[in-house]
């Protein structure tokens, strides 16, 4: 019998628990640990921030589906991971031992790296449902007395898609209210060019994103470092191609949403051999930590080097299907270890992404996500907006039903020749 602990109950953690339950031996125990008793669909947060969605529409109480799958569930904040003792420690003093530990926590939001950034400062966030609800309340106040908007992602950020979505969705909401003409908008990003996305672009993403922002009268500043944020003023340093200061901007705003940089969670930050200097889990080709071979990493918690250096630091996003491929590889590799075999499965890290733009949208496929790629394209249209809405409903249904990948999904992906494992 083995205790397999999944730390985190988000986009990676719950599918990991479901797939591991399918692959584990009958006597093995799967335990999900989370600091909250619900799942929330993070990709819907830009809609929450403009009051297009309510919390109850994008959250799922997870105890029931986990119980139905005979997966144990513990709610509590983990403060320390002790790899040499094979246990995790909770804030309340309790501990939990494991035979295998899968770290799927997502990141810590590094608002503190920039003065004035974040919900406790002067900008809003859509990284968590709680933040998105605060952003919504601020937005509903803002539209009564509109003014300039600054939106984007700071240096070190790695998840740029939601920043673009937020800008386009805000633009659409303002047009719906017929006050768009009263709101100058500026997109501020650490990317070297619009549409870089932390991936050195995908297909024709540069010209597509520039065209979309131009058509919506959204100005943009790339290679940008946010120096500090004051009440109503964002201080931005625009850099040249070598990363040297090119121009300083003082951008006035009455509303701002800026995505922060990510780091690893505090519970693992000081574990030598487990994490990189930013606190992300170091993994090999099989999602396993090279130092502690019974610890695995998936999702945003994993360390991934950027495809190439950028003038201003940018991270690499961990997108949905890419994370699901990590999940599948990890589940198979843990089963191999349980059977006394070496792990052999490698995730493809293929990416399929849908980004909403209010009344239209963009989709891209990158196979693999990190270049050079076998497939790389981006297309847009009303269909992508509808697909994003449909995917929201579909994924929440999967979480509620306790199934990671239904048979019809496997069939569609196989038909499209988009696999999760490199052996496929």
What positions carry a catalytic annotation? 159, 353
Short-list 404, 275, 322, 274, CA closest to 158: 322
CA distance 196 to 191: 6
**In angstroms, how far is the first alpha carbon of the chain from the final one?**
30
Q: What is the dihedral of CA 189, 194, 200, 201, to 10 degrees?
A: 140
Q: Is the peptide bond before 372 cis (omega within 30 degrees of 0)?
A: yes
Question: 143, 179 in Cβ contact below 8 A?
Answer: yes
H or E element in which residue 408 lies: helix 407-415
CA distance 135 to 129: 10
In sequence order, the 6+-apart residues with CB closer than 8 A to the CB of 169 are 46, 47, 49, 50, 52, 356, 357, 358
Question: 26, 314 in Cβ contact below 8 A?
Answer: no
H or E element in which residue 137 lies: helix 129-142
Q: What is the C-alpha radius of gyration for the chain, rounded to an integer number of angstroms?
A: 21
CA distance 48 to 139: 10
Q: Is the peptide bond before 368 cis (omega within 30 degrees of 0)?
A: yes
CA distance 215 to 218: 8
Alpha-carbon 38 to chain mean position:
17
CA distance to 157, 172, 199, per residue, from 313 (Å): 8, 30, 12
CA distance 111 to 53: 25
In sequence order, the 6+-apart residues with CB closer than 8 A to the CB of 391 are 354
Which residue's entry shows tokens 């999760």? 420
Question: 6, 17 in Cβ contact below 8 A?
Answer: yes
């Amino acid at each position: 019998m083995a205790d397999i602990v999944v730390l985190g109950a988000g986009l990676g953690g719950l599918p990991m628990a479901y797939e591991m339950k399918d692959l584990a031996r009958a006597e093995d125990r799967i335990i999900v640990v989370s600091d909250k008793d619900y799942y929330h669909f993070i990709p819907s947060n830009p809609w929450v921030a403009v009051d297009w969605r309510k919390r109850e529409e994008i959250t799922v109480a997870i105890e029931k589906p986990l119980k139905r799958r005979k997966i144990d569930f513990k709610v509590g904040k983990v403060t320390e991971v002790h790899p040499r003792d094979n246990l995790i420690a909770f804030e309340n003093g309790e501990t939990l031992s494991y035979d295998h530990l899968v770290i799927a926590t997502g990141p810590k939001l590094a608002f503190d790296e920039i003065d004035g950034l974040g919900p406790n400062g002067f900008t809003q966030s859509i990284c968590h449902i709680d933040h998105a609800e605060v952003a919504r309340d601020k937005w509903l106040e803002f539209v009564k007395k509109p003014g300039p908007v600054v939106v984007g992602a700071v240096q070190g950020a790695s998840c740029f898609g939601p920043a673009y979505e937020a800008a386009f969705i805000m633009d659409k909401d303002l047009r719906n209210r017929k006050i768009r003409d009263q709101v100058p908008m500026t997109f501020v990003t650490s990317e070297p060019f619009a549409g870089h996305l932390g991936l050195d672009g995908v297909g024709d993403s540069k010209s597509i994103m520039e065209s979309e922002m131009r058509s919506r009268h959204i100005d943009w500043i790339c290679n940008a470092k946010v120096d500090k944020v004051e009440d109503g003023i964002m201080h931005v340093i625009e850099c040249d191609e070598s990363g040297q200061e090119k121009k300083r901007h003082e951008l006035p705003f009455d509303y701002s949403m800026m995505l922060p940089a990510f780091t690893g969670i505090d519970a693992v930050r000081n574990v030598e051999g487990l994490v990189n200097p930013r606190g992300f889990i170091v993994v090999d080709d099989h999602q396993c930590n090279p130092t502690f071979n019974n610890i695995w990493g998936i999702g945003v918690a994993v360390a991934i080097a950027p495809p190439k250096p950028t003038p201003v630091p940018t991270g690499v996003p961990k997108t949905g299907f890419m994370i699901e491929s990590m999940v599948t590889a990890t589940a198979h590799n843990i089963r191999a270890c349980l059977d006394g075999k070496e792990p052999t499965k490698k995730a493809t890290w293929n990416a399929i992404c849908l980004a909403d733009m209010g009344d239209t949208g963009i989709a891209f496929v990158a196979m693999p996500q990190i270049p050079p790629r076998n497939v790389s394209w981006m297309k847009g249209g009303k269909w992508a907006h509808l697909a994003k809405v449909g995917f929201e409903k579909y994924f929440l249904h999967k979480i509620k039903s306790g199934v990671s990948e239904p048979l019809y999904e496997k069939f569609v992906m196989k038909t499209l020749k988009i696999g999760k494992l490199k052996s496929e």
